[in-house]
C-alpha cells in the first residue's frame, strides 16, 4: 500500500511540476523564443521583425516536439508557420499592421465613451489620450504591457498584442464613482440633484431642472429647497441649516472660502449660476478634511478631470447679464472665464423694484425719520458684479494643475436731500462689499492606488461704508476685513477593494480687522486679530463588495496656536442597505469654528448688512463648538422616494451678539448655547415626465444663556413647522414648475405696553414681555417657473423662460421690532415684509 501511494505521488509530481514550471515561467520576447527553438531543433526562422516585435509569452516546454512548439505559439499569437524546407520556416502574420495601435475605451455600465483616459506603454515615454468618442492611437510598437488610467475609473493593464488586430478593439473600464459614490436616488426634488449614500446632497446646476420661482439654477436658492435648510427672511445671506446661523455654514468655491455669499445683499447668489458647478452639501457626518462650519459644509467645484472642448454661453434676465466660456488652448490645457454684472444702475426693471423694496426697507435708504414737516428725497445707484477665471493644465499623463481666481462686488451709492425752510441740504453715503480669492491645486495619481493633492489658497473679504447723516454733520465710517490664507495636503490610498485610507494636513491663518471712525463726537476704534490653526486628518472609507454597507470614520486633530489649544473632532457616517429599496443611515460629527458674525448696532453699515466678522478670543467671544447625531431611513422603489431623518444638535460658545436680538437683549453681551432636535421628511413620486414632492420639517430649537433672566427660551431662528411642495414637468424642450411653501412665523418679543418705561428719566426704553414668547404670522408663498429650449444647428441652443415669485402677492411680516417715536413718545412697531409679487424673465444662448 505504501509503495503504491509512493508511485502515485511521484507520478503526480512528474506531471504537475512541468505544468507549474510553465505557469510560473516568465514571459519573454517571441524573437528570443524562436532563436532558442532554432538552436534546439537546428532550424532557421524567416520573419519581418516588426510583425513579431510586440509578442511576449511564456516559452513552450522543452519536452515538446518542434511541431508542438509551433502549434503552441500559433495558438497564443495567431501567427502561421510555413516550412520552406526542412531547415527553413517562414513566420506569417496575416493581420494588417500598417496602422498605429488603436482602440476605443467605453464605460462598462453605461457603454458611454471615456474621454481623457491615458494609455501608457510600460517602460517608455509613449502614451495616448482618448478623445471625445473614447478613441486612441499608439504609434509605438512594443511587446511591453499598456497601462490604462483615468481618475474616475479603475486602472487596467493589457497586453499590447491585444491591440495588434485588424479592427480597433473595444476596451471596457469599470467606474470608480459607481463603486465609491453610490446614491440613494439619482433624482432628488428635480433633475440634477441627487442624494448620495454618504449622506451628502449633490447638485449639478448645469443639469438641474426648473425649481419653482427660479429662472436659473441659483446655487444657494437651490440649496434652500432641501429639507432642514431655509431662510426665515427669504435671504441667501441668512441661510439656516438645522437651526444654525448663516455664519455657521462653511462655503468653499474651488477651495476658496466664501465670506460673502450673496448679491443684492442676500437675494441673489454671489456665484454665476451658469458655470458647470458641482455642489456637495453636508448637513452632518462631514468629511474630516473640512473644518469650521458647525452647521453645514457646502463644497462648490468647477474642476473637471478632462480637457474639454471649447464651449460658451451668454444670457440675461431682468437684473443682470452674464457670459461664460471655456476655451481649449491645447490638447492638455484650457481656460474658463465667466462674468456677470447687473444693469440696475442703468435700467429699472419690475424685478429690481421688488428687490429694492425688499432689501432697503427700514434702512437709511428708505427710512426718512419721523418729522413729516421736512421733505426728504433719496437717489440710489446700485450695481453688482462677479468674475471667475480658471486655468487647467495637464502635466504629463498623471498630474493636473488648476489655478482659480474669484472676484465679487456689491456697490451702493445713496444721495439724500432734505428741504427745510426753503433750504436744500444734500448728503452722500456709500456701501461697498467685496471678495477676492485665489487657489492653486496640484493633483497627482502616483499609480492606480495612490494619489495626492496639494493646494494653496487665499480669501479676502471687505465691507466698508460711509454714512453722512442728513440731520447733522456727523460722518460715520466703518470697515470690516477678513483675510484667510492656508495650505492643504490630501493623500488617498486604496488598500483593497473594500478599504480606502485618506490622510492629510491643513494650515490656515485668519486675520480680522474692524474699524469705526466718527467725526462728531470724535471716536475711533481699530481692532485687528489673528489666529493660526493646524489640523492633522485621517479618514477610513469602507465599501462592501455587495454594496450593502458603506461607511466612513474620520478624525481631525486641531491645534489653535494662539490659545495653545487642542480640539479633537471625530466624524462618522454609516449606510446599510437592508434591501435594494430600504436603507438605514447613521451620522455624527464634532466640529468647531473660530469665526462668527456679530451685530454691534442695528444701523451699522447703513442698516443693510449689519453683521461684521470677528474672531474668537477665548474669553468673551469663545470658540464655537457643536456635536450632532442623526438617524435616517430611505425607501426608493417604483419611482417612489421616501426619506425620514431625525437629528439632534447642540452648539456651545455662541454670543448673544451673533444672534441678532432686537428686544431687551439687543445690547447685552453674554455667551450661551442652543440645542435643536427635529425631523425631516420627504415623499416624492415620479410620473414621467412629471415629478411631484412634499417635504416637512419639524424643529424644537432653544437657547440657554445662564447669565440672562430668562435662561432658556426659543431660538430667534426657530421654524417649528415647515412644509415645501412642488410639481415639476420636464417634457422634451418644455419645463414647468409650480410650488409652494408654508412655515410658522419665527419667534418675536412683544412690548408690555405702548408706553415707554422711564428707568432713566432722560432715556425712555421699551418694556418687553418674556423673550421670544410670541410668534410672527405664518408665512405662505406660491411660485412658478417655465422655460422653453430649441436647438440652433447641431451644437447651439437657445433657452428662454420666465418666473413669478409670490404669485398671490401675500404681504407677510418676516421680522418686527419696536422703537420709541420721539415725536409721539409712544412705542411703535416696525415691520419688515416679505418679497412682493416679482416677475422675472431670461434669455440664454449656448454654443
pLDDT tens, residue by residue, 134-175: 888 887 666 678 888 887 788 888 877 676 666 788 898 887
Residue 517, pLDDT > 90, answer yes
Rounded CA separation 624/639 (Å): 42
Tell me which range, 47-56, 373-382, 570-579, is most confidently predicted by mean pLDDT. Answer: 570-579
Is residue 638 located within the same domain as residue 658?
A: yes
Last residue of a domain, one of 151, 178, 205: 178
- The tens digit of pLDDT for each residue in 5-18 reads 444 333 433 333 33
Is residue 268 located within the same domain as residue 306?
A: no
Give mean pLDDT, residues 586-595. 97
Burial label for 791, CB within 10 Å (0-12, 13-18, 19+), is exposed
Range of the domain at 171: 101-178
- Give a yes or no: residue 135 inside a domain: yes
Residue 571, pLDDT > 80, answer yes
- Contact criterion met (CB below 8 Å) for 520 and 474: yes
- Give a yes or no: residue 798 inside a domain: yes
Is residue 173 located within the same domain as residue 198?
A: no
Rounded CA separation 512/524 (Å): 17
- Contact criterion met (CB below 8 Å) for 338 and 322: yes
Q: Which residues of 537-551 are buried (b: 16+ CB within 10 A; e: fewer)?
A: bebbbebeeeeebbb
Residue 814, pLDDT > 80, answer yes
The conformation of residue 247, written as its DSSP 8-state character, comes to G
Helix, coil or strand: residue 73? helix
- Contact criterion met (CB below 8 Å) for 715 and 678: no
Is residue 406 located within the same domain as residue 439?
A: yes
Is residue 213 located within the same domain as residue 81?
A: no
- Lowest mean pLDDT across 10-19, 196-205, 697-706: 10-19
Q: Which residues of 389-421 are buried (b: 16+ CB within 10 A; e: fewer)?
A: ebbbbbeebbebebbbbbbbbbbbebebebeee
Rounded CA separation 597/249 (Å): 11
In sequence order, which residues have a C-beta less than 8 Å from that of residue 101 and are 6 or more positions away? 137, 138, 139, 140, 141, 160, 163, 164
Is residue 224 located within the same domain as residue 274?
A: yes
Output the pLDDT for position 374: 64
Name the grid cell of 400: 493636473
Output the pLDDT for position 31: 82
Helix, coil or strand: residue 607? helix
A 10 A CB-CB count for 564 gives: 8
Output the pLDDT for position 280: 93
Place of cell 422711564: 758
Place of cell 453681551: 669
Please give the span between the terminal C-alpha atoms of the chain, in angstroms, as a whole number: 85
Question: Is the peptide bond preceding residue 426 cis, with omega within 30 degrees of 0?
Answer: no
- More confident: 373 or 151: 151
C-alpha dist (Å) from residue 267 to 204, 251, 358, 561? 21, 17, 9, 38
CA torsion through residues 136, 140, 146, 149, sign:
negative
Question: Is the peptide bond preceding residue 521 cis, with omega within 30 degrees of 0?
Answer: yes
Output the pLDDT for position 229: 95
Tell me which range, 34-48, 123-137, 546-560, is most confidently predicted by mean pLDDT. Answer: 546-560
Output the pLDDT for position 377: 77
Rounded CA separation 661/683 (Å): 36
Last residue of a domain, one of 258, 282, 306: 282
Place of cell 464605460: 107
- Contact criterion met (CB below 8 Å) for 545 and 537: no
In sequence order, which residues have a C-beta less than 8 Å from that of residue 76 and are 6 or more positions away? 55, 57
Rounded CA separation 385/399 (Å): 33
Is residue 424 located within the same domain as residue 461?
A: yes
Residue 830, pLDDT > 60, answer yes
Name the grid cell of 307: 480637457
Domain holding 508: CATH number? 2.40.170.20
- The tens digit of pLDDT for each residue in 182-192 reads 667 678 998 88
Last residue of a domain, one of 178, 202, 217: 178
Residue 51, pLDDT > 90, answer no
Give the β-pairing of 450-468 and 475-494.
antiparallel
Burial label for 836, CB within 10 Å (0-12, 13-18, 19+), is middle
- More confident: 258 or 168: 258
Domain holding 62: CATH number? 3.55.50.30
A 10 A CB-CB count for 499 gives: 12
Place of cell 454609516: 574
Mean pLDDT of the chain: 88
Give mean pLDDT, residues 308-313. 87
Rounded CA separation 150/520 (Å): 65
- Give a yes or no: residue 290 inside a domain: no
Could you tell me what percent of the chain has a pLDDT over 70?
92
- Give a yes or no: residue 723 inside a domain: yes
Domain holding 145: CATH number? 2.60.40.1120
pTM of the predicted structure, to 2 decimals = 0.81
- Contact criterion met (CB below 8 Å) for 243 and 718: yes
- Give a yes or no: residue 466 inside a domain: yes
Output the pLDDT for position 164: 64
Please state the φ and ψ torsions of residue 589, each to the nearest 5 degrees: -160, 155
Name the grid cell of 291: 473644518
- Contact criterion met (CB below 8 Å) for 846 and 276: no
- Give a yes or no: residue 367 inside a domain: yes
Is residue 158 located within the same domain as residue 192?
A: no
Domain count, the chain: 4
Residue ranges with strand state E in 346-469: 375-395, 399-420, 423-445, 450-468
Is residue 768 located within the same domain as residue 799?
A: yes
Residue 54, pLDDT > 70, answer no
Output the pLDDT for position 97: 52
Residue 412, pLDDT > 90, answer yes
- Give a yes or no: residue 8 inside a domain: no
Is residue 637 located within the same domain as residue 767?
A: yes
Give mean pLDDT, residues 315-332. 93
- Contact criterion met (CB below 8 Å) for 504 and 537: yes
- Lowest mean pLDDT across 173-177, 316-320, 524-528, 731-735: 173-177
Is residue 186 located within the same domain as residue 174?
A: no
Sheet containing 127-129: which strands, arranged edge to edge?
A: 127-129, 118-121, 146-150, 153-158
Give mean pLDDT, residues 27-43. 86
Give the β-pairing of 101-107 and 170-173.
parallel
Confidence band for 3, pLDDT divided at 50, 70 and 90: very low
Alpha-carbon Rg for the chain in angstroms: 34
In sequence order, which residues have a C-beta less than 8 Å from that of residue 85 and are 6 or more positions away? none
* DSSP assignment of 150-187: ETTEEEEEE-GGGG-SSSPPEEEE-BHHHHHS-EEES-
Is residue 513 located within the same domain as residue 611?
A: yes
- Give a yes or no: residue 159 inside a domain: yes
Amino acid at each position: 500500500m505504501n509503495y503504491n501511494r509512493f508511485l502515485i505521488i511521484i507520478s503526480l509530481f512528474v506531471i504537475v511540476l512541468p505544468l507549474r514550471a510553465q505557469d510560473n515561467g516568465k514571459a519573454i520576447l517571441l524573437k528570443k523564443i524562436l532563436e532558442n527553438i532554432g538552436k534546439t531543433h537546428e532550424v532557421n526562422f524567416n520573419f519581418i521583425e516588426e510583425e513579431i516585435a510586440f509578442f511576449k509569452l511564456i516559452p513552450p516546454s522543452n519536452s515538446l516536439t518542434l511541431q508542438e512548439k509551433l502549434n503552441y505559439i500559433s495558438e497564443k499569437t495567431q501567427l502561421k508557420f510555413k516550412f520552406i524546407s526542412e531547415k527553413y520556416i517562414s513566420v506569417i502574420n496575416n493581420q494588417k499592421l500598417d496602422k498605429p495601435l488603436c482602440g476605443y475605451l467605453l464605460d462598462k455600465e453605461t457603454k458611454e465613451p471615456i474621454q481623457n483616459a491615458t494609455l501608457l506603454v510600460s517602460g517608455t515615454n509613449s502614451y495616448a489620450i482618448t478623445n471625445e468618442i473614447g478613441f486612441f492611437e499608439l504609434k509605438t510598437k512594443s511587446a511591453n504591457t499598456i497601462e490604462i488610467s483615468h481618475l474616475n475609473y479603475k486602472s487596467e493593464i493589457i497586453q499590447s498584442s491585444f491591440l495588434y488586430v485588424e479592427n480597433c478593439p473595444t476596451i471596457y473600464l469599470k467606474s470608480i464613482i459607481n463603486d465609491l459614490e453610490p446614491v440613494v436616488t439619482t433624482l432628488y426634488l428635480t433633475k440634477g440633484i441627487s442624494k448620495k449614500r454618504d449622506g451628502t446632497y449633490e447638485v449639478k446646476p448645469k443639469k438641474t431642472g426648473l425649481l419653482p420661482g427660479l429662472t436659473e439654477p441659483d446655487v444657494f436658492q437651490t440649496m434652500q429647497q432641501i429639507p432642514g435648510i431655509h431662510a426665515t427672511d427669504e435671504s441667501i445671506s441668512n441661510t439656516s441649516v438645522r437651526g444654525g446661523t448663516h455664519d455657521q455654514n462653511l462655503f468653499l468655491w474651488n477651495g476658496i472660502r466664501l465670506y460673502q455669499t450673496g448679491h443684492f445683499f442676500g437675494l441673489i447668489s454671489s456665484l454665476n449660476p451658469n458655470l458647470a458647478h458641482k455642489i456637495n452639501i453636508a448637513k452632518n457626518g462631514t468629511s474630516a478634511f473640512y473644518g469650521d462650519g458647525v452647521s453645514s459644509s457646502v463644497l462648490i467645484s468647477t474642476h473637471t478631470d478632462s480637457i474639454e472642448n471649447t464651449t460658451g454661453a451668454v444670457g440675461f434676465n431682468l437684473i443682470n447679464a452674464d457670459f461664460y466660456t471655456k476655451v481649449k488652448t491645447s490638447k492638455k490645457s484650457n481656460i474658463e472665464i465667466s462674468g456677470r454684472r447687473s444693469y440696475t444702475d442703468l435700467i429699472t426693471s419690475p424685478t429690481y423694484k421688488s428687490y429694492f423694496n425688499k432689501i432697503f426697507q427700514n434702512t437709511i435708504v428708505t427710512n426718512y425719520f419721523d418729522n413729516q414737516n421736512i421733505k426728504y428725497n433719496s437717489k440710489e445707484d446700485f450695481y453688482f458684479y462677479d468674475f471667475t477665471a480658471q486655468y487647467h493644465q495637464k502635466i504629463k499623463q498623471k498630474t493636473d494643475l488648476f489655478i482659480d481666481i474669484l472676484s465679487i462686488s456689491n456697490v451702493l451709492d445713496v444721495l439724500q436731500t432734505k428741504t427745510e425752510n426753503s433750504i436744500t441740504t444734500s448728503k452722500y453715503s456709500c456701501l461697498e462689499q467685496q471678495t477676492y480669492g485665489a487657489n492653486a491645486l496640484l493633483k497627482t495619481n502616483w499609480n492606480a492606488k495612490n494619489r495626492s493633492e496639494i493646494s494653496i489658497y487665499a480669501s479676502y473679504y471687505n465691507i466698508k461704508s460711509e454714512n453722512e447723516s442728513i440731520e447733522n454733520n456727523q460722518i460715520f465710517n466703518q470697515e470690516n476685513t477678513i483675510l484667510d490664507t492656508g495650505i492643504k495636503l490630501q493623500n488617498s490610498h486604496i488598500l483593497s477593494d473594500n478599504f480606502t485610507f485618506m490622510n492629510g494636513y491643513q494650515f490656515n491663518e485668519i486675520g480680522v480687522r474692524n474699524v469705526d471712525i466718527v467725526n462728531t463726537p470724535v471716536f475711533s476704534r481699530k481692532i485687528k486679530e489673528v489666529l493660526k490653526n493646524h489640523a492633522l486628518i485621517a479618514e477610513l472609507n469602507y465599501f462592501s463588495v455587495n454594496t450593502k454597507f458603506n461607511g466612513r470614520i474620520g478624525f481631525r486633530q486641531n491645534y489653535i496656536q494662539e490659545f495653545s489649544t487642542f480640539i479633537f473632532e471625530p466624524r462618522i457616517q454609516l449606510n446599510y442597505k437592508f434591501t435594494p429599496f430600504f436603507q438605514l443611515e447613521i451620522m455624527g460629527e464634532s466640529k468647531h469654528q473660530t469665526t462668527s458674525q456679530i451685530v454691534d448696532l442695528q444701523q451699522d453699515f447703513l442698516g443693510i448688512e449689519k453683521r461684521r466678522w470677528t474672531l474668537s478670543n477665548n474669553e468673551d467671544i469663545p470658540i464655537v463648538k457643536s456635536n450632532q447625531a442623526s438617524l435616517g431611513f430611505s425607501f426608493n422603489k417604483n419611482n417612489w422616494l421616501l426619506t425620514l431623518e431625525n437629528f439632534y444638535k447642540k452648539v456651545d460658545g455662541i454670543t448673544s451678539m451673533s444672534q441678532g436680538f432686537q428686544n431687551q437683549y439687543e445690547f447685552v453681551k453674554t455667551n450661551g448655547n442652543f440645542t435643536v432636535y427635529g425631523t425631516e421628511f420627504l415623499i416624492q413620486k415620479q410620473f414621467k415626465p412629471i415629478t411631484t414632492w412634499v417635504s416637512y420639517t419639524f424643529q424644537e430649537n432653544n437657547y440657554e444663556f445662564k447669565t440672562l433672566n430668562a435662561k432658556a427660551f426659543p431660538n430667534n431662528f426657530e421654524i417649528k413647522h415647515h412644509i415645501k411642495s412642488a410639481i415639476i414637468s420636464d417634457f422634451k424642450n418644455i419645463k414647468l414648475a409650480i410650488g409652494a411653501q408654508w412655515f410658522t412665523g419665527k419667534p418675536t418679543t412683544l412690548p408690555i405696553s405702548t408706553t415707554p418705561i422711564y428707568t432713566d428719566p432722560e432715556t425712555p426704553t421699551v418694556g418687553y414681555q418674556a423673550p421670544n414668547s410670541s410668534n410672527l404670522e405664518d408665512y405662505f408663498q406660491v411660485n412658478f417657473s417655465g422655460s422653453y429650449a430649441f436647438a440652433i444647428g447641431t451644437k447651439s441652443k437657445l433657452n428662454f423662460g420666465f418666473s413669478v415669485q409670490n404669485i398671490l402677492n401675500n404681504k407677510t411680516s418676516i421680522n418686527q421690532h419696536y422703537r420709541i417715536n420721539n415725536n409721539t413718545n409712544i412705542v411703535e412697531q416696525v415691520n419688515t415684509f416679505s418679497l412682493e409679487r416679482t416677475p422675472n424673465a431670461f434669455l440664454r444662448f449656448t454654443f
